[in-house]
Structure 1
Amino acid sequence: MPVDDLITPEPILQLGLGFMASKTLLSAVELGVFTALAGGGRDGAALAAEVGLHPRSSADFLDALVSLALLTRDEDGTYRNTPAADLFLDRDKPSYVGGILEMANARLFGFWNHLTDALKTGTPQNEVAHSGAPFFATLSQDPAAWRNFLNGMNGVSTPLAGALAADFDWTGRRHLVDLGGALGAVPAAVLHTNPDITAAVFELPPVEPVFQEFVTSRGLTGRLTFHSGDFFTDPLPAADVYVMGQILHDWNLEQRRLLLQKAYDALPDGGTLIVYDAMIDDERRHNTYGLMLSLNMLIDTEGGSEYTVADATRWLRTAGFTTIDTRPLIGGYTALYATK
């Protein structure tokens, strides 16, 4: 039999041991390797000293990052960021997406070790799994964990925010409210390219201090404001565009329908609700990221999951929306633009 026709275990083994590459990246972000290299190349010894690597591990670790196409190494042994790592993994750049990786490292990596328990019990496996206390209320009591979580949400939203800001037609829109928008990555991206629009984030009160730091760092004081509240129990602020990004996947079906109905009722005629999530393709075969993220919601929430585009479209129509435009974004995410 030709070698090319042999069935080998290599793909299975690569998948099963994929956590090794994942943790190598997560540790590099935690140690600040890419931020250290943002100012220029370093030789191995200097870089190891700067980020605190032990001599036994430093060469293998840095060369592993080279093999993963996150760093390059010159013939003289100088390490440099790849263009993508320099753009997205330098903490000092507004394009930094490492917040979600920091959160994955600090929280999710350990929780996924209990996936089997979650699959058997249907219950969360996170830090509040057995406390019976609300997730957000519990997490917000730990300042470091809370900041890590919010920066993580901002990290995963940053590239999506740019895609939404470029894709949606903002002509004639005056005020955007991001419902559960964390630090405000989406409105920040919209405001930077649409000077006539103002925006707000509607969030729980403990979010505000970290939100204000983000707004100041982006030069948006006065244009991007904070509206404190709970979108389940409080009236929604007035707007002609609402955003629910990575919100519906946190909640069960009844809660999703409630939120969509509240948005429809609060919007003026001609107003639009933008919903985006890592929606599963309707055949449930192709969006691996969406399916993996749905398992993450099993681990990290009481009733959340990802859902298909058809599911979301049906819920939006039930709420009253008649014009619904489906738009693929990036990285396995889909947006629905639902207009009243």
Structure 2
Amino acid sequence: MRSSALVLFVCAGLLLSGGAILGVSTSWNLFRMSYYFWTTDVGVELGASILFIAGALLCLPACWLASLVPYYPKSISILSTLMVLVTAALVLLSTGMTSIMALSKATRDPSMIKTSMLRAMSVESQDLAVKNAFAAMQIELKCCGVNSYSDWSMHRRGLPSACCGRVMNVKSVDRCEYPLYNVGCLRPAVNELRLFVNSLSVLTCSIICVMAVTLFATAYTLVTGVADRTKTLQPLRRRASAPPASPRPAPAPPRPCGPAPPRPAGADKRPQGSYKWKSTDATGGARRASGRREAFSVHSSRSLTRPGAAARGGATIG
């Protein structure tokens, strides 16, 4: 659990720096390249870049919660909230990557951008927003026209003041006789969009990898904390479900110190029943001994009454 908390602490720093860079760079690029919304047909793909800004904003609370995990590793509310924020940020960034793929396809095939820019140039004199967008793009990219400055000759008499590096105002005339930039805006615009797509893709993929590690470490910490809590509560549940134990007997009172109390008189005498039992036992033994002597005398008298007993006896005596 300590290793996962350390990983989350490191990911918190990476999410903070990566989210700040992603959000600030995407916002600045969208603001700076806002002229593409009126001069090209890639406005929808560029507008989807707001998803990156939303994902970058979610990195800030996710960073804060990830930095709290080492101090509260068993807080289920913090871990679950962090997982929800990281998952939402992953969904937003993954959805934004699909729009970047469409924008990357447009940079690989500049014919669509060229067609949309020529179409916008045809209505430049009628739409003030398109006119301002073309002026900003030509000053920012230091270009004039789409392929070259000669493209303006099909839609207006002279060149716009942006081709000379000037911003049109009320007092000045929106006309340029000698263009300052001879190159068209198609190639610089495609190069700028390609650089935006590549940088945004690399930064987003890096943040997605950090978020994946953060999500895995958060899930591991959550599962480990729940398992430890279950092991801790299991003995308590067993004690609660076990039948109540029988009450223990009261302990014996302590034995008083000092000499033993005197015994009452006559306590050492034995009961009379024991002596009576012994006398009865002795009388019975005497009776059995006398009975054996009587049986022996009877047997002797019978042997003397048999024939030849006297002769054998006399011979024996003699």
For this structure pair, what is the TM-score category when the shorter chain's length is used for normalisation?
A: under 0.3
TM-score (norm 2): 0.22
Greater relative contact order (Cα 8 A, min sep 6): structure 1 or 2?
2
Larger Rg: 2
How does the TM-score come out when normalised to structure 1? 0.21
